[in-house]
Structure 1
Amino acid sequence: MNYFLTYTVYVLILSVLMGVSTWKLFKKLGYNPLFAFIPFYNYFIILKETKHPKWWAILSYLPIVGPIMMSVFHLYLMKKFGKTLFKDQFLTVILPFIYMATVNYSKDVELEDENENELFLTDEEKNTKKKDSFLGSVTFAVVFATIIHVFVTQPFGIPTGSMERTLLVGDFLFVNKWSYGYRLPMRPLAIPFLQGTIFDAGEKGNPKDDPKSYVEAVKLPYERILQFNKPQKHDVVVFNYPQDSVHTAIDRKDPYVKRCVAVAGDTFEMRAGRLFVNGKPETILGDQEIQHAYTVNTGTQLDIPGMYNTYGFLPVREMQNEKGGFTYMFQGLTDKTAKDIKALPNVISMEENIYPKDSATISYKLNADKTAYTKSVDTTQSIFPINKPWNQDWYGPLKIPKKGDVVTLNQETLPEYQWIISKYEHNRLENKNGKIFINGKETNQYTIKQDYYMMVGDNRDASLDARFFGFVPEENIVGKPMFTWMSVQGAFADNSSSYQAPFKIRWERMFKATNTGEANKTSYWWIAAMILILFFGWEYFVKLFRKKKEDDL
């Protein structure tokens, strides 16, 4: 309810601004000036008077879409009063309520006469009308695409190999935002189609300084509607990266895609690189191919380009060894691919890369006074939680928090729950002199407010996943991939490999379903055909309607 209350406040503020800046103009149009203050109805009147579809008024206050439509409606209103120069249009878009107020309170502003019959229009007026019609069509196309992007489905590209070979590098997916209930937009004032930033300043710049694609100050609380399902074990899920330090807005954090391997209440564990949930080995689905890293020693060079043609994605580092042969560090091989490579005649030895047990990638030790942790190993990655001697191959057991769970807090358990308490559930957490304070009150327990999930990549040794960044909150869940609409090998540079895959379009993957659990995936080519038929069919009927209207005149 907080979401809708906050949303209503924003609508009322915008309505007051609209009314204050246009009430005299509404009076000149022949309406009660108070109508300028009424949400939706004020824009309904503008559309009616400017002879545009009146149902567009329902788009005026929608998140992200609304600001675009408001700008369009404001332009319509200003044009009605003769403000058609570029400077008028520019100021109407950039400073809408300020510029419209100057027009509203101007003494010489009057309604502009309009020629209803095109037979009496000059060539210049006809060209202007055609230009306006074209711009209107482009604007509506952008708005329609924005509505689909914001409220229905969102495109998503796979730039890394963490989900190989279930999802390939260069796959482009459509994500169903209603799979687990629709998460309402939390930053309603934003540039369409951009996730977090307008552009990336690059390695030299601080990512926090990159220009944001949204207005941080205008925000709405988390709310999800029509949630009939929650993520289940084995689902491939798109979510916002929980520990994104650049963006505080949940829905603007970087999108990730992994497999949900454990849900709230489950116990997750890795034993020698193999995954266990509640003490049982994971179930491998038909479209899931688990991979692991291997070191291969050979007497002569391997035909890596040939292997790419046979196996597809195959990131590998090649180096000469001291014995005159070659050593290959394969980032991720399936059991079948590993068996095939081991059988090659020039392979001398092959070993799966598994971290030793109780050797953390980064190890932290509690001080003698039990007030702080000291880092004992300095590497580039940290296992979650920081005080456990775990690594990506030997991990857990770790219980996934569930809404309503009451967890014990002490210096040993705090690293496991500190992000949940302070970042995900928005409390003020303090750890002073060995005592834990939440919102100013000393405590030794905490009640979990939402469900959490464990998201892990199928390419287990090349995946930045929940083993490193921890639990994924329910509020970060975006949805479930529906199908791959495009797949391009070589679309993204692979820094993990000495060899870059050649560029090619994988036609066999296009418009194929992702989350089926079946080896033979459902084809959605019929959706592409339907979109083309609707698009060209719509264009045909619009042209036919316009021709009939012109003939009637």
Structure 2
Amino acid sequence: MNYFLTYAVYVLILSVLMGASTWKLFKKMGYSPLLAFVPFYNYFIILKETKHPKWWAILSYMPIVGPIMMSVFHIYLMKKFGKHLFQHQLLTVILPFIYMATVNYSKDVELEDEAANELFMTDEEKNEKKKDSFIGSITFAVVFATIIHVFVTQPFGIPTGSMERTLLVGDFLFVNKWSYGYRLPMRPVSIPFLQGTIFDAGEKGNPKDDPKSYVDAVKLPYERILQFNKPQKKDIVVFNYPQDSVHTAIDRKDPYVKRCVAVAGDTFEMRGGRLFVNGKAETFLGDQEVQHRYIVITASQLDIPGLYKTYGFLPVSEQQMDKGGFVYGFQGLTDKTAADIKQLPQVVSMKEDILEKGYSAVAYRDELKKSIDTTQSIFPINKPWNQDWYGPLKIPKKGDVVAINQETLPEYQWIISEYEHNNLEKKNGKIFINGKETNQYTIQQDYYMMIGDNRDASLDARFFGFVPEENIVGKPMFTWMSIEGAFKDSGSSYQADGWRIRWDRMFKATNTGEANKTSYWWVAAMILILFFGWEYFMKLFGKNKTEE
């Protein structure tokens, strides 16, 4: 409810600004000045008077799309009063309500006589009108694509091997934003198609200084509508990285894709590199393959390019020993691949690489080990856990009352302060939430454990902890494109030359769990045929109508 109240306040503010800066122009067009203050209807009048489709008015106050459409409608209005020059349009876009107010309160502004303008229009002016029409077509193509991107489905690329071999590096997916209810946009003023930043400054710059693709000051609270389902165990889920310190906006944090292995109320555990939920060993779906990390010692150098071409994704480190021979560290080896490599004549020994129990995987930002790097350390940082020996850890559920003390605080501090937006303080060994000393806390939303299928090469919930429900984006629907070589394989000493399209993966559903998924390329072909066929039909219909 807070979302819609906040949204209504923004609409009211914009409507007042619109009315205050255009009411005289509405009066000159023959309407009551008060109508300039009425949301949606004010833009309906502008579209009616400028002979554009009136239904476009419903787009005027929509998040993300709205600011674009408002700029277009404002330009239409200004042209109605003779403001055709480029500088007029630029001022209308950059300083909309200020520039429109100067026109509104100008004594000599009058409506254009459009019939006379058409009659005495020069060739140059006609060409300019055609150019405006072309730019308008491009604008609405962008708007249509933005509506699909924001409100229906979002494309997502797989840049790393954390989900191998279920999702391959270079797979491009479409994510259904309605799978778990639609999460309403939280930063309504932003540049379409950009996630968090306009561009990255690179390794030398501070990521926090990168120009944002959204206006952080204009924000709406979290709200999800039509939520008939929640993430289930085994679902592949796209979510916003919880501990992104660069972006405060939840829906602008970096998108990640992992498998949901445990839901709210479950207990998660890793024992010797094997995953357990509620004390039971995990079961594998048809599209999952058990993968592990291995240390291989060889008498001579292996043909890594040849192995890469045979087995595909193969992150590997290589080091030559002082006494001859080589040591290789392989990640993501299936049982079959590991057995094949073990049979190679150069291999002297091969063993699964499992971290010791009790070894705490804590990373530091400095050589003196005073500053802990929480993004690279096992969660929570006060436990003697690592990727292979982890937990047991209970996943918080909405309504759970949890004990808060010095021992449990590292487990819940992000939930309290960041995910559920409370003021958390520690004073003299005591814990204060919103200014009150306490030893317990009630969880306000459900949380999930998201882990990569390629367990030994995945930065997942074992590092960044619980994923809040508010960070859930949706469920991948299908792979619309798959390009080997599109991204560099993280951690691999060998990269394939060039790139190639994996035709066999295109238009296959993602979340079925089947080993042999059905390809729906024919659906894509039908959509293209209908789209271009409809365009051809409309052109033909328009031509016949003109000839009549």
Give the TM bin, normalised by the shorter chain: over 0.9
1:426 to 421, 425, 428: 421
CA RMSD of aligned residues (A): 1.9
Cα displacement string for residues 262-313 of structure 1 (whole angstroms, at most 9, x for unaligned residues): 0000000000000000000011010112322111111222222222222111
SS at match of 1:172: strand
Q: Which residue of 2 aligns with 1:93?
A: 93
In the TM superposition, residue 329 of structure 1 has moved relative to its aligned partner by 1.1
> 1:200·1:210 contact (CA, 8 Å) conserved in 2?
yes
In the TM superposition, residue 545 of structure 1 has moved relative to its aligned partner by 4.4
Q: Does 1:515 align with 2:511?
A: yes
Distance 1:546 1:376, change over 3 A: closer
Which residue identity is paired with 1:151?
Answer: F
In the TM superposition, residue 123 of structure 1 has moved relative to its aligned partner by 3.0
Separation of aligned partners in 1, 2:332 and 2:372 = 26
Separation of aligned partners in 2, 1:538 and 1:376 = 61
Which residue identity is paired with 2:408?
Answer: T
Q: Which residue of 1 aligns with 2:540?
A: 544
Cα displacement string for residues 386-414 of structure 1 (whole angstroms, at most 9, x for unaligned residues): 11000000000000000000001111111
Separation of aligned partners in 2, 1:416 and 1:160 = 27
Which residue identity is paired with 1:222?
Answer: Y
Greater Cα offset, 498-507 or 165-174: 498-507
Distance 1:197 1:69, change over 3 A: same
Distance 1:276 1:347, change over 3 A: same
Q: Which residue of 1 aligns with 2:502?
A: 506
In the TM superposition, residue 381 of structure 1 has moved relative to its aligned partner by 2.5
Q: How do 1:430-469 and structure 2 match up within 5 A?
A: 430-469=425-464
In the TM superposition, residue 531 of structure 1 has moved relative to its aligned partner by 2.8
> 1:363·1:388 contact (CA, 8 Å) conserved in 2?
no
Distance 1:93 1:550, change over 3 A: farther
In the TM superposition, residue 379 of structure 1 has moved relative to its aligned partner by 10
Distance 1:547 1:115, change over 3 A: farther
Q: Which residue of 2 aligns with 1:179?
A: 179
Which residue identity is paired with 1:81?
Answer: F
Greater Cα offset, 268-277 or 377-386: 377-386
The TM-score, its normalising length taken from structure 2, stands at: 0.96
> 2:374·2:381 contact (CA, 8 Å) conserved in 1?
no
Which residue identity is paired with 2:540?
Answer: L
Which residue identity is paired with 1:160?
Answer: T
Q: Does 1:525 align with 2:533?
A: no
In the TM superposition, residue 433 of structure 1 has moved relative to its aligned partner by 1.5
User: Percent of counterpart pairs with the same letter?
Assistant: 85
In the TM superposition, residue 326 of structure 1 has moved relative to its aligned partner by 1.9
In the TM superposition, residue 15 of structure 1 has moved relative to its aligned partner by 0.4
Cα displacement string for residues 222-257 of structure 1 (whole angstroms, at most 9, x for unaligned residues): 000000000000001000000000000000000000
Separation of aligned partners in 2, 1:322 and 1:551 = 86
Separation of aligned partners in 2, 1:522 and 1:10 = 46
Q: How do 1:109-188 and structure 2 match up within 5 A?
A: 109-115=109-115, 122-188=122-188
Aligned residue pairs total: 543
Separation of aligned partners in 1, 2:147 and 2:86 = 28
Separation of aligned partners in 2, 1:234 and 1:477 = 15
Separation of aligned partners in 2, 1:248 and 1:410 = 27
Distance 1:361 1:436, change over 3 A: same
SS at match of 2:21: helix
Greater Cα offset, 489-498 or 66-75: 489-498
What are structure 2's unaligned runs of at least 5 residues?
none
SS at match of 1:115: helix
Greater Cα offset, 82-91 or 338-347: 338-347
Distance 1:119 1:335, change over 3 A: farther
Separation of aligned partners in 2, 1:179 and 1:377 = 37
SS at match of 2:114: coil
In the TM superposition, residue 120 of structure 1 has moved relative to its aligned partner by 7.4
Separation of aligned partners in 2, 1:378 and 1:88 = 51
SS at match of 2:402: strand
Cα displacement string for residues 138-184 of structure 1 (whole angstroms, at most 9, x for unaligned residues): 11100000000000000111111111111111111110000000000
Cα displacement string for residues 390-447 of structure 1 (whole angstroms, at most 9, x for unaligned residues): 0000000000000000001111111111110111001111121221111111111111
SS at match of 1:461: helix
Q: How do 1:453-492 and structure 2 match up within 5 A?
A: 453-492=448-487
The TM-score, its normalising length taken from structure 1, stands at: 0.95
Distance 1:7 1:130, change over 3 A: same
> 1:60·1:70 contact (CA, 8 Å) conserved in 2?
yes
What are structure 1's unaligned runs of at least 5 residues?
365-373
Q: How do 1:50-449 and structure 2 match up within 5 A?
A: 50-115=50-115, 122-362=122-362, 381-449=376-444
Distance 1:378 1:407, change over 3 A: closer
Cα displacement string for residues 61-107 of structure 1 (whole angstroms, at most 9, x for unaligned residues): 00000000000101111111110101001000111000011111111
Distance 1:309 1:37, change over 3 A: same
Distance 1:274 1:158, change over 3 A: same
Separation of aligned partners in 1, 2:100 and 2:547 = 38
SS at match of 1:388: coil
